[in-house]
Amino acid sequence: MATDKKIALVTGANRGIGLETARQLGQKGITVIAAARSLSAAEETADKLKAEGLDVVPVKLDVTKAADREAAAKFVADHYGKLDILINNAGVGDDLFNQKVSETSEEELLKIFGTNVFAVVAVTRAFLPLLKKSDAGRIVNLSSILGSLTLHADPNSPIAGVKAFAYDASKAALNSFTIHLAAELKDTKIKVNSAHPGWVKTEMGTEAAPMEIPEGAQTSVELALIGEDGPNGRFIHLGQELPW
Ligand code: NDP
C-alpha cells in the first residue's frame, strides 16, 4: 500500500496557519491529512479543501490524547504505510501577553506545556516509525520568535520585555526538542526544524498582527519541502536563521 505520492499530516489544520499550510501543501500535489481536535472540524476542513480540488483526508487528533495519537498513526499506517511530512502546528497561547512569572499558575504552565511541548513530543513519537519509511521525512515544529532565549536576553531586541512567560518558555522547550531530535536522527533521511511563522493575523496572533495568513504558512511549507541539502536542527523564519 506504500504510495509514490507524498503524504503530509498537519495538526490543528482546521483554522489559522494550519489550515493555510494544509491548503498550500495540497496545492503542491501532496495528499494532506487534515488533523483536528474533533472529527467534525477535521471533516469540515477536508470538505472545504476538497472543494478547492485538493486531496485532503480528515483525521481526529486531539494532540494531547494518547488514544487519538495511536488511532491517527494506525490510520496513516493502514492507508499509506508511510508519512513524508509532519507539521506540528497545533498550539495554544491563552492570555498570551499576561503571563508574568509571578502571576502564572502551575495549572496554566501545565496546560500550555501540555499542548505546545509534551503533545508535540508524543505526536512525533507516534509518527516516527512512519516517517522513517519515507525517502525524505520532514518534521516542522511551529515555534515562535518568542521562544528565542538569545533575543529575550538582549535588552535591545524587539521582543525584550514581552511578558508571555508560559508561552515563550514552552516554545524554548520545543526548540530544545527540535535540536535533540535532529541530533538523534542525523543518520536517517529525516530532517527536523523549528519554524517561526511571523506575527500572523489569526485568532492567536490577533488582528493587530502585520502578516496575512498565506505568508504566515510560507515558512512551514518551505521547511516541509526542503531537499537533501536543506537545514536540519535549525530555527528558521522565511529562509533566514533565527538565534535560539
Ligand atoms: P490559532 O489559535 O489560530 O490556531 C491554533 C490551532 O491549534 C487550532 O486549529 C486549534 O484547534 C489547534 N489546537 C490547539 N490545541 C489543540 C489540541 N489539543 N489538539 C488539536 N489541535 C489543537 O493559532 P495560529 O494558527 O496562529 O498558530 C499556529 C501555530 O503557530 C501555533 O503553534 C502557534 O504557537 C504558532 N505561532 C503563531 C504565531 C502567530 O502570530 N499567529 C506567531 C508564532 C508562532 P481548535 O480550533 O480545536 O482550538
CA of 17 to the centre of ligand 1 (A): 7
Closest CA relative to residue 139, chosen from 105, 99, 109, 179: 179
Give the chain's domains with CATH numbers. 7-92+127-144+172-241 (3.40.50.720)
Best mutation site among 10, 11, 14, 17 for ligand 1, i.e. most ligand atoms within 8 A of its Cβ?
17
Rounded to a whole number, what is the largest CA-CA distance in the chain? 54
Cell of residue 5, nine digits: 505520492
- How far from chain centre, in Å, is Cα 112? 15
Residue identified by cell 482546521 is 14
User: What does the pLDDT read at residue 71?
Assistant: 98
Q: Is the pLDDT of residue 16 over 60?
A: yes
Please report which confidence band the pLDDT of residue 1 belongs to, taking 50, 70 and 90 as the band edges.
low
Is 171 marked active-site? yes
Q: Residue 174: CB within 6 Å of ligand 1?
A: no
7 sits in which H/E element: strand 7-10
Alpha-carbon distance values, 120 to 21, 36, 115, 202, 218 (Å): 17, 14, 7, 21, 20
CA of 13 to the centre of ligand 1 (A): 9
Q: Residue 16: CB within 6 Å of ligand 1?
A: yes
Q: Residue 148: CB within 6 Å of ligand 1?
A: no
Alpha-carbon distance values, 38 to 41, 42, 61, 68, 204 (Å): 5, 6, 7, 10, 19
Q: Is the pLDDT of residue 161 over 90?
A: no
Best mutation site among 33, 92, 178, 237 for ligand 1, i.e. most ligand atoms within 8 A of its Cβ?
92
CA of 150 to the centre of ligand 1 (A): 24
Q: Which atom of ligand 1 is nearest to the CA of 201?
A: 41
Across 51-66, average pLDDT: 98
Please report which confidence band the pLDDT of residue 2 belongs to, taking 50, 70 and 90 as the band edges.
low
Across 218-231, average pLDDT: 98
Q: What is the pLDDT of residues 92-138, one digit of tens each?
A: 998 887 889 999 999 999 999 999 999 999 999 999 999 999 999 99
| ipTM surpassing 0.95 | yes
Residues 6+ apart with CB under 8 A from 174: 116, 117, 120, 141, 143, 147, 194
The active-site residue, picked from 6, 82, 167, 191, is 167
**Contact in structure between 158 and 242 (CB atoms under 8 Å):** no
Q: Is the pLDDT of residue 149 over 70?
A: yes
Q: Which atom of ligand 1 is nearest to the CA of 65?
A: 18
Is 80 marked active-site? no
Handedness of CA 72, 6, 223, 58 (dihedral sign): negative
Helix 165-184 to helix 106-113 angle (10° resolution) is 40
Q: Residue 111: CB within 6 Å of ligand 1?
A: no
CA of 117 to the centre of ligand 1 (A): 13
